[in-house]
Amino acid sequence: MLEALNLSKRFGGLAAVQDVSLSVPRGSITALIGPNGAGKTTLFHLLSGFLASDSGKVSLEGRDITGLSPHAICRLGMTRTFQIVQPFAAQTVRENIAVGAHLHHRGRREAIAAAEDVARRVGLHAQLDKPASSLTIAGRKRLELARALATRPRLLLLDEVLAGLNPQEINEVLPVVRAIRDGGVTVLMIEHVMQAVMNLCEHVWVLSNGRLIAQGSPREIAAHPGVIEAYLGHGTAERLLKAAAHA
């Protein structure tokens, strides 16, 4: 569905993303994880066209989308949400979602109807008339999701939709994400909430210092010594193993 081939991006002396290749299968939920500063969001920027890569290629459903602008990529069926939520604060929830819906609906009435439909799917329908600025953080995350869904994507990049939510809110959003996938939308998510990654994802990529250091099923990743070291520091995996042997 989505293929990245040898993507690299440098910011001056910092190699934010180095030689990353990944392939997202159609109809899957996959995750991109890694410690803070690993380059996950930069990689999302490269995939979605918000940043131009220094080298490498991105293709969506076999079509080369390297260097296309974000709105062109959205029209081709891939969109994203932002880690720091970016609502159109001066507008109501309904108007916010309608902006996304307008991608496929020229008429205002159709776009509004489509927006209300999407709001129901993500559980925002009670708040349609509220200004976006009055939503709680959980509501704003749902709004990001709803706006992106309203563009009817085939592939959705979610940048930490669960960050900042309490456990109960996370449990409410998980089924929403699963339902999105069941509705035929492929999902690639950046996520720190491991409970969600373990629950939802079929495949996980681990990024550390701009490089992919591991990939596999969530269970394999959790036991991968390189991943443990990336999160907990050098030599940790060995110490943990020793401790386990002694016990």
Partner 1 sequence: MRQLAAITAFAAAVALLPAVTSSGVVLNIAIMTLYAALLGQAWNILAGFGGQFSFGHAVFFGTGAYAAAVLQARFGWNAWAALPAALALGAAVGGFIGALSFRYGLRGSYFALVTLAFAEVFRILANNVQFTGAGVGLMVKLDPGAARFQFADKAGYLHVILAFVVVGLLVSWWLKHSRYGAWLQAVRDNEDSAAALGVNVFAVKLQAIMLSGALTAAAGVFYVQYFQYIDPSLAYGPAVSVEALLGPIIGGLGTVWGPILGAAVLHLLGEATRGLVSSLPGVNLIAYGVLLVLMIMFLPRGIIGLVKCSRP
CA–CA–CA angle 44, 83, 206 (5° rounding): 50
Q: And the tokens for 167?
A: 């456990």
**Segment interacting with partner 1 (CB under 8 A) among 7-15, 31-39, 57-65, 67-75:** 67-75
128 binds partner 1 (CB under 8 A): no
Nearer to partner 1, 30 or 79 (CB): 79
Q: And the tokens for 66?
A: 């390297």
Nearer to partner 1, 88 or 231 (CB): 88
Helices within the chain (DSSP H only): 40-48, 70-75, 93-101, 108-122, 137-150, 167-182, 194-200, 218-223, 225-232, 236-246
148 binds partner 1 (CB under 8 A): yes
Nearer to partner 1, 91 or 215 (CB): 91
C-beta separation of 97 from 147 below 8 A:
yes
Site for partner 1 in 26-55 (CB under 8 A): 48, 50
Binding mask 84-123 toward partner 1 (x if CB under 8 A, else -) reads --xxxxxx---x--xxx-xx-xxxx--x------------
DSSP tag of 92: B
The only residue of 23, 69, 195, 217 in contact with partner 1, by rule CB under 8 A: 69
Nearer to partner 1, 2 or 206 (CB): 2
Of the candidates 121, 74, 83, the residue with the CA atom closest to the CA atom of residue 102:
74
Nearer to partner 1, 76 or 163 (CB): 76
Burial of 231 (0-12, 13-18, 19+ CB in 10 A): middle
Q: Where does this chain bind partner 1 (CB under 8 A)?
A: 48, 50, 69-71, 74-75, 79-82, 86-91, 95, 98-100, 102-103, 105-108, 111, 147-148, 150-151
